[in-house]
Amino acid sequence: MTLSAQSLLSADSLAQIDKEVAKYPADQKPSAVMAALRIAQVEKGWLAPATIESVAQYLGMPTIAVYEVATFYNMYQLEPCGRHKITVCTNLPCQLQGADTVADYLKQKLGIGFGETTPDGRFTLKEGECMGTCGSGPLCLHNNHTMHAHLSPETVDKLLDELK
Amino acid sequence: MPLITIDDQQIEIAAGSTVMDAARAAGIYIPHFCYHKKLSIAASCRMCLIEVEKAPKPLPACATPVTDGMVVRSYSAKAVEAQKGVMEFLLINHPLDCPICDQGGECQLQDIAVGYGGVASRYAEAKRVVKEKDLGPLVATDMTRCIHCSRCVRFGQEIAGIMELGMPGRGEHTEVMPFLEHHVSSELSGNVIDLCPVGALTSKPFRFSARSWEMARRKGISPHDGLGSNLALQVKDNRVMRVTPVDNEAINECWLADRDRFSYQALNSAERLTRPMVKDGGRWVEVDWPKAMAFAAGALKVIRDTHGASAIGFIASPHQTVEELYLFQKLARALGCENIDSRIDRVDFSGRRDGVEWLGMAVTDLNKLDRVLLVASTVRKEQPLIAQRLRQAVKKGAQVNVVHCADDDLLCSVANKLIARPSDLVNILAQVAKAVGADIDGLSDVVVSDAARAMAASLKSGEKKAVLLGAVAQQHPAASELHVLAQAIAKATGATLGFLVDSANAVGAGVVGCRPRQGGLNAAAMFVAPKKAYVILGAEPELDAADSAVAHQALAGAELVIALSPFKTAGADYAQVMLPVAAYAETAGSYVNMEGRLQSWCAAIPPQGEARTAWKVLRVLGNQFGLAGFDQDSAEQVLAEALPEGEATVRARLNNEIADVTVAHLNAAAGIERLGDTAVYQLDAYSRRAPALQVTVDGQVGHAAMACGALIARLGLSEDKPVKVRQSDAEVVFKLMRDDRLPDNVVRLAGGLAAAVQLGPRFGPISLEKM
């Protein structure tokens, strides 16, 4: 096991993690693991093993325990992905509102399937689970943070044009 | 106390207990996989579902607390239906490969499937297949068989103190694995083999060599550290095939250190000595026993008659049995020789000691301590299960304070630590002594640091306390000064003074008199002023001695060396006679552990080849000289003679007090120095001949020279590269590894290494040079 004293994360990310850690009692630093992974992923784009090790060291956790969390939730990205990750909800309520059409359109337009990245590294397409706002389906999530509702082939075209 | 009814049986049990606890107390078996008495509750397997009156659904017995008046049915129709349902789910992904599975015959899943499984599976879809994991040389995996009970994961977190295995993934995609391709490196890792209820984790050295029902289980005691772990030696065709623990709450609970578990490999080593051998014109010749004995006795007699009995040295390994050590010293004394010792790795014998050093308390008391001062102990590697007990104490709020030469990770939180070079150790401990206001002379010039003051504050609080001296403290060149300081600290703080005894029968050796008395020489003195002849029982002084180079020179230059050993490589280059004696599993015998507990066992297998039990060999040697009192017929008779009152005789001789020592070595030496503590798998003749242990992470690290990054950089060296190590005019090449837990100017190079014999003392000046 390598003991790198220097964390791979930027000072800005570490400051954000510190803010999350401060929300919990001093002896329960590991409680901030999900937030820390999220912040690390925003900085690095994905969670490489070395990034996970950095988070573990910073929170004083066994690396495997951090890895458990990272593999449990599907919004953590464990492989490199495109600049724009588009996650389309394919659960039943969205499906009934035409999610399949939207997904097929995305696949055809980008030339990739779910879990794949365009050769230019611009887009990654992912299949998502219910995002909790079924009333505004079909839905997609851009880079885990921005939600786009009421999708149709036209709105998808507009969205893809905006994402450079 | 709540009164509950399980299967019409009324049980009164402490509030806070679970239904599983109550059932176990009443002797009612509830099927389970994830539940384990020593681990936390997971309730993940659901096999222990039971029916509770007024509860709408079946509840897991392991996670349901008892309430007064609770009525539980463990095999009602509803409970059994639930259990059968769980079983069907568990078997969905489990391969039907019992005939080629090592767990077959001792598999909980197999057993419970007989009771609760269906005749055929209704599942026709594809089964889950999991990629194999490489966990290192001790634990074999077959992860497709895993049923996700998480026992191995919890063991790492809760007992071993290091979470090396985890369960990444979710649902069906969950897999037990280490992070990336890391090996499991814990010194307790073998326990996951016992914990795994299926064949997912099995023993790599044992794999595919026998079935559980083909082996007889015979009781034995571990021949390594001073704990005396209880072993089940599993024997097939007069061969020990594997070793598993025997539950003993007072000693090893249900665990074993890897050293105890895998060292049996040495019993079947190609290095075993199976026939007596005599050196004839520089060549080893196999002879029969009468010839060998006549030669040994005759040659020894010549030495005694020409140079006197004091020209002989008797050196025994502290891993030999009470019976053997008793007859060994009896033989020496009957021959008129007082040069008898088993403390081969010690160098400082100054001061007046009135008894045999021991733990000072019961092993179970360690769990109840509030404050601990560990003095120069690499406890995790020396006594892995003692470290485990201290870890449990820390969980209950104990504060562990560490004074040592290396900041080794104890895998538990440490309240205060003072890490210094070996030559600075006396000064550091003196600071703590001064800070606690110990009544001891010679500390007026000692400057107390803040860290020492903090440690003193910790030691002054709390109720139950102990000051424990580890192996490095006992092997240290100023061991007596450390002892007297520790004694003063213990007195000032109301703590118990104890020794973490590092060999299986060091206490027994002391009790039966394997120590020089008036006019005799101790082990170190016997090598510094070489003797004409040596009789060696089980020991390898050229490896284990405090100064291996001096010991080797003395042995090589002696006119006669008689080696009684199970191994032909021990003493082959300097002995004149090698007498094959039985290994620990092949002889009846007894050990006294560090708490003064006497444990006896019977031979599990016959000695290999023509080897004889050592006590018989010693008895016959006595007969050869025509000495009186060498006519014992059994090991029991020897034991009765050695310890007439049994454990009471032992207890009467235990005493940790020391007097007549002046604290003088308060100034650290200049320059780089060696820290030569014993590597975990170089402790004794058995562990160093177990191939599986040697290729573990610990086994490999034990063969390297280690230094901190700052020292490596200052000397212009590079880590993970060979480096010339120079000590006392000798030069040997070792791999240099970086360990930032070492203080500056310290090179950690284990004692007991064959490659390091010429380097000499375990402590003292050393230098590193670029290749």
Kindly state whether A71 is in contact with chain B, defined as any CB-CB distance less than 8 angstroms: yes
Write down the mean pLDDT value for chain B. 95
Report the pLDDT value the prediction gives residue B771, as an integer from 0 to 100.
86
Residue A3 has pLDDT above 60, yes or no: no
Encode pLDDT of B384-409 as tens digits. Answer: 999 999 999 999 999 999 999 999 99
Distance (Å) from the C-alpha of residue B173 to the closest C-alpha of chain A?
A: 9
Encode pLDDT of A62-95 as tens digits. Answer: 999 999 999 999 889 999 989 999 999 999 999 9
Distance (Å) from the C-alpha of residue B61 to the closest C-alpha of chain A?
A: 27
Report the pLDDT value the prediction gives residue A6, as an integer from 0 to 100.
56
Kindly state whether A70 is in contact with chain B, defined as any CB-CB distance less than 8 angstroms: yes
Which tokens in the block code for residue B719? Answer: 């880590």
Count of CB atoms within 10 A of residue B644's CB? 9
Question: Which residues in chain B have their CB less than 8 angstroms from residue A68's CB?
Answer: 166-168
Q: Do A62 and B164 touch (CB under 8 A)?
A: yes
Nearest to B179 among A3, A64, A72 (CB): A64
Q: Do B164 and A64 touch (CB under 8 A)?
A: yes
Q: Which of B366, B481, B507 is nearest to B429 (CA)?
A: B481
pTM score, two decimals? 0.93
Kindly state whether B163 is in contact with chain A, defined as any CB-CB distance less than 8 angstroms: yes
Q: Do A68 and B167 touch (CB under 8 A)?
A: yes
Q: What would the mean pLDDT of B758-769 be, rounded to a whole number?
A: 94
Nearest to A64 among B166, B170, B740 (CB): B166
Kindly state whether A59 is in contact with chain B, defined as any CB-CB distance less than 8 angstroms: no
Nearest to B166 among A1, A49, A67 (CB): A67
Question: Which residues in chain A have their CB less than 8 angstroms from residue B177's CB?
Answer: 64
Nearest to B179 among A3, A63, A72 (CB): A63
Strand segments, DSSP code E, in B162-282 are 165-166, 177-178, 201-203, 216-221, 230-236, 239-245, 277-280
Which residues contact residue B278 at a Cβ distance below 8 angstroms, ignoring those fewer than 6 apart? B284, B285, B287, B291, B292, B295, B576, B577, B578
CA-atom Rg of chain B in angstroms: 28
Q: Which of B398, B325, B407, B319 is nearest to B618 (CA)?
A: B325
Report the pLDDT value the prediction gives residue B477, as an integer from 0 to 100.
96
d(CA B470, CA B381): 11
Contact predicate B542/B321, CB 8 Å = no
Kindly state whether A64 is in contact with chain B, defined as any CB-CB distance less than 8 angstroms: yes
Question: Which residues in chain A have their CB less than 8 angstroms from residue B157's CB?
Answer: 62
Q: What would the mean pLDDT of B264-278 be, rounded to a whole number?
A: 96
Contact predicate B104/B110, CB 8 Å = yes
Kindly state whether B740 is in contact with chain A, defined as any CB-CB distance less than 8 angstroms: yes
Is the ipTM beyond the 0.85 threshold?
A: yes
Q: Which of B250-254, B350-354, B395-399, B473-477 has the lowest mean pLDDT?
A: B350-354
Contact predicate B312/B296, CB 8 Å = no
d(CA B130, CA B199): 14
Residue of B nearest to A70 (CA): B168
Q: Do B168 and A63 touch (CB under 8 A)?
A: no
Which residues contact residue A112 at a Cβ distance below 8 angstroms, ignoring those fewer than 6 apart? A118, A123, A124, A125
Encode pLDDT of B468-502 as tens digits. Answer: 999 999 999 999 999 999 999 999 999 999 999 99
pLDDT band at A8 (very low <50, low <70, confident <90, very high): confident
Residue of A nearest to B184 (CA): A1
Q: What would the mean pLDDT of B10-14 be, rounded to a whole number?
A: 95
Encode pLDDT of B628-637 as tens digits. Answer: 999 999 999 9
- List C-alpha distances in Å: B450 to B467, B495, B686: 20, 22, 44
Which tokens in the block code for residue B98? Answer: 């019992």
Report the pLDDT value the prediction gives residue B508, as an integer from 0 to 100.
97
- Write out the DSSP string of B566-630: SBTTSSTTT-SEEEEB--GGGS-EEEE-TT--EEEE--SSPPSTT-B-HHHHHHHHHHHTT-TT-
- List C-alpha distances in Å: B78 to B114, B119, B122, B151, B706: 19, 20, 21, 27, 62
Encode pLDDT of A111-121 as tens digits. Answer: 999 999 999 99
Residue B627 has pLDDT above 50, yes or no: yes
Encode pLDDT of B529-567 as tens digits. Answer: 999 999 999 999 999 999 999 999 999 999 999 999 999
Kindly state whether B162 is in contact with chain A, defined as any CB-CB distance less than 8 angstroms: yes
Report the pLDDT value the prediction gives residue A2, as an integer from 0 to 100.
40
Which tokens in the block code for residue A54? Answer: 């950095």
Which one of A47, A66, A68 would you mutate to disrupt binding with B, by most B Cβ within 10 Å of its Cβ?
A68
Percent of chain B with pLDDT strictly greater than 90: 95
Residue A5 has pLDDT above 90, yes or no: no
d(CA B279, CA B283): 5
Q: What would the mean pLDDT of B33-48 be, rounded to a whole number?
A: 96
Residue B269 has pLDDT above 80, yes or no: yes
Tell me the sheet residues that pair with B139: B203
